[in-house]
Amino acid sequence: MTAAPTAEAASRPTVFAALAAVYLVWGSTYFAIRIALEGFPPFALAAIRFLIAGGGLYAFLRLRGAPAPTRTQWRNAALTGVLLLGLGNGLVCYAEQSVASGIAAVAVASVTLFAAVFSALYGDWPRRSEWLGVLVGLAGVLILNFGGDLRAAPLGAAALVIAACAWAFGSVWSRRREMPQGAMSTAAQMLTGGAALALMALLAGERFTAMPGARAWGAFAYLVVFGSIVGFSAYIYLLRRVRPALATSYAYVNPPVAVLIGVALGGEHPGPREWLGMAVILAGVAFITLARQRR
């Protein structure tokens, strides 16, 4: 059985709120992950984050009377959680140990391109204006990051490419599968993705050499509440109700948000090329959004 991608009508204000969440909250998680890695190993960081967020959300929903996922829904949620969170988020955490944040932003921006390709494989070809938005947005990310440090460790760079592909395919694939309803889908994916990440941490031999400091704990708490529960729930909502090109357009907004947070909290000073890149990125998002509205 395949669930329809737009089984429920999308409320425009709710879509805008969900887009704001994935644009702003997920843009800030680059800085939060970097801080949390001061005290947590990468896969363990992601595993603990999603197991806590997913377990808490699952318990809350069950207490409120929400039905447990069926066996089919658990299976589909597990595969999606492994792709989006295990490989997608876990490999980003791994890469941020050695890869510049600008390189990470370029890799994440490629999610939208990969999503368009995977959608085409299912017969859902993007419109010409949507392709234009994708290409303009990617050009903006390249402009933004050519102004920064592009040096990267080979393993970290490869991890980012795999992460982008896994996230894009998981996003497209999940739209055509029967998934748990509403927030239960978020909880199930975080639980199964967190379990996969725990296995990855075990296989990687990760250990805590010392108790994380206050900064790392604060960043971790932010990732659990906002990056996981708020941001991921908003993304799941978008996946079920809007086209993939719009749902994954956060990839173009996250880099400038990350740069602005670096200015405010990290003392960074972007140059003219960085500001130009941000303007082009937002133009790409506008193309995709307008194409969606016309469609």
Helix, coil or strand: residue 244 = helix
Q: How far apart are CA 162 and CA 184, in angstroms?
A: 27
Within a 10 A sphere around the Cβ of 196, how many other Cβ atoms? 23
Helix 272-294 and helix 128-146, axial crossing angle in degrees, nearest 10: 170
The answer to whether 51 and 194 have CB atoms below 8 angstroms apart is yes
Could you tell me where the beta strands, DSSP code E, fall in 11-165? none
Q: How far apart are CA 152 and CA 84, in angstroms?
A: 23
The pLDDT assigned to 285 comes to 78
The mean pLDDT of 114-143, rounded to a whole number, is: 81
Which parts of 153-243 fold into alpha helices (H)?
Answer: 154-174, 183-203, 214-222, 231-241
The pLDDT assigned to 6 comes to 43
Q: How far apart are CA 148 and CA 270, in angstroms?
A: 9
Take residue 168 and report the two structure tokens written for it: 């894009």
Model confidence band, residue 101 (pLDDT cutoffs 50, 70, 90): low
Helix 250-266 and helix 272-294, axial crossing angle in degrees, nearest 10: 150
Pick 267 or 21 by higher pLDDT.
Answer: 21
Angle at 118 between CA 45 and CA 79, to 5 degrees: 40
Residue 113 has pLDDT above 70, yes or no: yes
Helix, coil or strand: residue 295 = coil
Residue 130 has pLDDT above 60, yes or no: yes
Residue 276 has pLDDT above 80, yes or no: yes
% the chain with pLDDT above 70? 88
Q: Per residue in 239-249, pLDDT tens? A: 888 877 788 78
Pick 266 or 38 by higher pLDDT.
Answer: 38
205, with CB counted inside 10 A (0-12, 13-18, 19+), is: exposed
Q: How far apart are CA 223 and CA 228, in angstroms?
A: 6
The mean pLDDT of 180-206, rounded to a whole number, is: 95
Residue 2 has pLDDT above 50, yes or no: no
The pLDDT assigned to 147 comes to 58
Residue 5 has pLDDT above 60, yes or no: no
The pLDDT assigned to 295 comes to 60
Q: How far apart are CA 145 and CA 104, in angstroms?
A: 10
The mean pLDDT of 284-292, rounded to a whole number, is: 74
Q: What is the pTM of this model?
A: 0.82
Domain boundaries defined on the chain: 12-294
The answer to whether 163 and 171 have CB atoms below 8 angstroms apart is no
Pick 132 or 87 by higher pLDDT.
Answer: 87
Over its C-alpha atoms, the chain yields an Rg (Å, rounded) of 18
Model confidence band, residue 213 (pLDDT cutoffs 50, 70, 90): very high
Residue 56 has pLDDT above 80, yes or no: yes
Q: How far apart are CA 85 and CA 273, in angstroms?
A: 32
129, with CB counted inside 10 A (0-12, 13-18, 19+), is: middle
